Each structure stands twice: as C-alpha cells, then as structure tokens.
Amino acid sequence: MLSLVLAAVCLGSASSRMLWESPHSVDTGDERNNFHVISHGTFGQDDSLTHAHDPTDSHRNVMKVKYADGSYSGTDHRGVQFYSQPTGVKGHSELTLSYDVYFAHNFDWVRGGKLPGLWGGTQTCSGHRSAEHCFSTRFMWRGGGDGEVYAYIPHEQYPNYSSWCKNSHIICNDHSGQSIGRGDFVFGKEKWQKLTQYVKLNNVGSHDGVLKVWLDHKLVYHSSSLVFRKHSSIHIDGLFFSTFFGGGDDDWASTADTYTLFRDFRLYDTHMDPAGIAFG
C-alpha cells in the first residue's frame, strides 16, 4: 500500500506543478498583496478585508473577511470581491484551485453566500449576466451549511438544458448561476476546511468539460459532461475571490456581524492534490 502511495506522489509531482500560492502569512499592509488583482468587478475596499491570527497558529496571519449585520449583495460592508490573475496562470484549459476556509462561531448560513472559485473570459460572469463570453465557478454556502459550485456557464448542457436541469445534483437558475452539487458536501464552523475544485474546459462544440470537488481531500462531486464555454477564445484565467451574503435582497442578509478566514490559496496546472498526491 505504501508503495502505491509513493508512486502516486511521484506521478503527481511529475505531471503537475503548482503555478502560484498565496503568502504563508498575509501582508498586514495589503492583504491582497501577491494576488495580482484586476480592478474590474472589485468591491470591499472599505474595512471588510483585513487580517487575523490563525486560530491554530498564533504566529501566522491569515485573511479575514468581515460581513456586517444586515449585509447582502449591494449593501456596504458586505464582504470582498476581486479578480486575481497571478503570473503564469492566464490561458489554461485546466486548473486545480485549493484553499482553506474557516467560518466564525456565530456564522448564520441564512439562505447562502459566495466563496472563491475560478474564472475565465470577460470578468462579467456574475450578477445575473450572460455566460456567453465567460465562465465562473465560485463555491457557495447554502442554508444549513450545504455546499455547492455556483457556476456561470452556458445553457447548452447535455443532452439539453431542460433535461440537464432535472439531474438530482443540479438546480437551474435561468438568469443567473447554476447550482451544481448542492448538499453533496456540508460546511462546519470553527474549523479549517480545505476546498478544492478541478476544472477542465470542454472542447468547443462538445459536452466533455470536467468538474471535480473535494472537501478535506474527499471527493464529493464529479461531472465529466459539462459545457463551460462556447468559444475557443475562453480559457481559465485565474481566481475569482468573491465572498458575501446573497442574493440580492434582505432575505439573504447576515443576521450578525460575522466573518470568515482564508489561507493557503494554491493553483495547479492540472489535476493535483495540495498534499502532492495525484487526484483520482
């Protein structure tokens, strides 16, 4: 058994490489330092993004995102959003993103909210806009802590949009993102959880895009028949750091001043476990 694990490590190391990682301890002067931020689509320049000591390592600073009581999409002090395009990441057909997230003890899931994912194309795949020239694969938390991938992707899914929407793992939203794998994993509070997603873009005209999701290294969702793009000019271009409650009305609003913590963002050029073992 040990020899198989060692072989997997060697295979993973030979076939995959880490393209980028966030600082081990964040810059207390600018928490976004080294994220290579694109200004378009950015919010949270108020005091929503700050830093805190890692609850499990007091010598280390991690990113802290604050959500004000009553906040949701469109209000002040609602969280943070920016597009990140680290050097060497633009223009890929497949990427693995991993990071750790920590929810505060008083975090009320309400109806849901956004968490970081991948993006490609124009920086417009959010806010009920078209996925004609872009895609995004943010995570979401939902009521009760249920997790999902909230994907802005074309409606041209397999075998057709109407049939695809009847899949038990899919909840369709005609004019916004598609909920993929809702409830296949569940978030907890007051502990670090490692989120990982692997995206391989479809060949244009084919239903062969791949999405895999792991929570704490356990595979919780897998599809190999998705359409992420309709045009060959669309590639994976980076990290979409987006986190807030909502939803666009106060039904989604935070019920308290609360926060999340983030650390250890990593991007790999293919199918790679952050521990160094090739994903199966």
Distance (Å, whole) CA 128 – CA 240: 16
Q: What is the DSSP letter of 164?
A: H
Q: Label residue 125 by pLDDT band (50, 70, 90).
A: confident
Asked if the structure places residue 159 within a domain, the reply is: yes
What is the pairing mode between strands 147-152 and 178-180? antiparallel
Q: Which residue has the tokens 């990113």?
A: 63
Looking at the chain, the whole-number percentage of residues with pLDDT higher than 70 is 91
Asked if the structure places residue 177 within a domain, the reply is: yes
Give the pLDDT confidence score for residue 204 in this predicted structure.
Answer: 98
pTM for the whole thing? 0.91
Asked if the structure places residue 277 within a domain, the reply is: no
**CA atoms in the 13 A half-sphere facing the CB of 230:** 11
Whether residue 279 has pLDDT greater than 60: no
116 closest CA partner among 74, 164, 80, 168: 80
Asked if the structure places residue 278 within a domain, the reply is: no
Distance (Å, whole) CA 253 – CA 78: 9
Give the pLDDT confidence score for residue 14 in this predicted structure.
Answer: 45
Asked if the structure places residue 165 within a domain, the reply is: yes
CA-CA distances (angstroms) from residue 77 to 50, 61, 258? 12, 21, 11
Asked if the structure places residue 123 within a domain, the reply is: yes
Phi/psi at 21 (5° precision): -145, 150
Asked if the structure places residue 30 within a domain, the reply is: yes
Q: Which residue has the tokens 């802290």?
A: 64
79 closest CA partner among 249, 265, 259, 277: 259
Asked if the structure places residue 280 within a domain, the reply is: no
Residue type, 43: F
Q: Domain of 60: which CATH number?
A: 2.60.120.200
- Total count of domains within the chain: 1
Question: Per-residue pLDDT averaged across 201-207, rounded?
Answer: 98
| Domain of 253, in residue numbers | 2-268
